[in-house]
């Protein structure tokens, strides 16, 4: 009898624990934005009189999964140089530029058109007004376009949303920006990575 009682009690406790586990949903942990500051990615040096490149600068390779600069032969997602942002086509990384408020994009829009880099084009378009930035030829400044968000499907197949905040070192306010003295090609951006492969943020 004693043994039977113990067995019955253990069985009852196990059943109760299982029921609680079944009925209690997993807590939802909100995703937090990661801030990357002053990622230096200088452009090639160009002779302004001839237009010829006098010094070729390397791309800076960044892993969204690792939140770190990595080597070109590692699993990078984005590569930065000047105003150009490449995606890792060899690892099937794709990207789309969408219009919306960063904090309000709760999932990848069905209308987002993802692409990867090719010999003819970039998934994240280059040129003023085409992708993430505008260039003001009167003030010689590069500024992120408000309401432009970059979506990326990473090397691991996870989705990320990215907002570029500044192209200048120290992320200076627009009123204090002097392109003649403030180093450019220093990216400050924030991003949210969904690590479970779903399209929600």
Mean pLDDT lowest among 27-36, 59-68, 80-89, 122-131: 27-36
pLDDT over 90 percentage in the chain? 76
Where b means 16+ CB within 10 Å and e means fewer, 160-179 reads: bbbbbebbbbebeeeeebee
Averaged over 15-43, what is the pLDDT? Answer: 76
Q: Are 39 and 70 in contact (CB under 8 A)?
A: no
- In this prediction the pTM is 0.84
Mean pLDDT of the chain: 89
CA neighbours closer than 13 Å in the CB half-sphere of residue 80: 23
Q: Which residues pair with 164 in a beta bridge?
A: 189
The gap from C-alpha 180 to its chain's centroid, in whole angstroms, comes to 28
What is the tens place of the pLDDT at every residue in 56-107?
A: 999 999 999 999 999 999 999 999 999 999 999 999 999 999 999 999 999 9
Residue 32's pLDDT is what?
96
Residue 121's pLDDT is what?
93
Is the pLDDT confidence value at 119 over 80? Answer: yes
How many whole angstroms separate alpha carbon 11 and alpha carbon 199? 40
Q: What is the DSSP string of 60-108?
A: EEEETTTTEEE-TTS--SEEEETTEEEE-GGGT-EEEEEES-GGG--B-
Residues contacting residue 60 through CB under 8 Å, at least 6 positions apart: 39, 40, 41, 69, 79, 80, 81
User: What's the length of the chain?
Assistant: 201
């Amino acid at each position: 009898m004693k043994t039977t009682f113990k067995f019955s009690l253990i069985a009852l406790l196990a059943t109760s624990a299982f029921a609680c586990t079944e009925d209690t949903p997993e807590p939802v942990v909100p995703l937090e934005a990661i801030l990357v500051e002053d990622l230096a990615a200088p452009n090639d040096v160009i002779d302004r009189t001839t237009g010829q490149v006098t010094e070729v600068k390397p791309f800076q390779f960044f892993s969204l999964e690792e939140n770190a600069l990595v080597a070109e032969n590692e699993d990078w997602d984005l590569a930065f140089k000047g105003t150009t942002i490449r995606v890792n086509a060899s690892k099937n990384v794709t990207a789309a530029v969408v219009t919306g408020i960063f904090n309000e994009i709760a999932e990848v829009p069905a209308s987002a058109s993802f692409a990867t880099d090719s010999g003819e084009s970039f998934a994240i378009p280059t040129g003023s007004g085409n992708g993430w930035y505008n260039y003001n030829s009167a003030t010689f400044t590069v500024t992120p376009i408000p309401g432009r968000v970059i979506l990326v499907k990473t090397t691991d197949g996870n989705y990320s949303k990215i907002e570029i905040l500044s192209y200048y070192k120290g992320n200076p306010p627009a009123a204090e920006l002097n392109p003649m003295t403030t180093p450019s090609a220093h990216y400050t951006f924030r991003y949210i990575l969904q690590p479970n492969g779903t399209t929600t943020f």
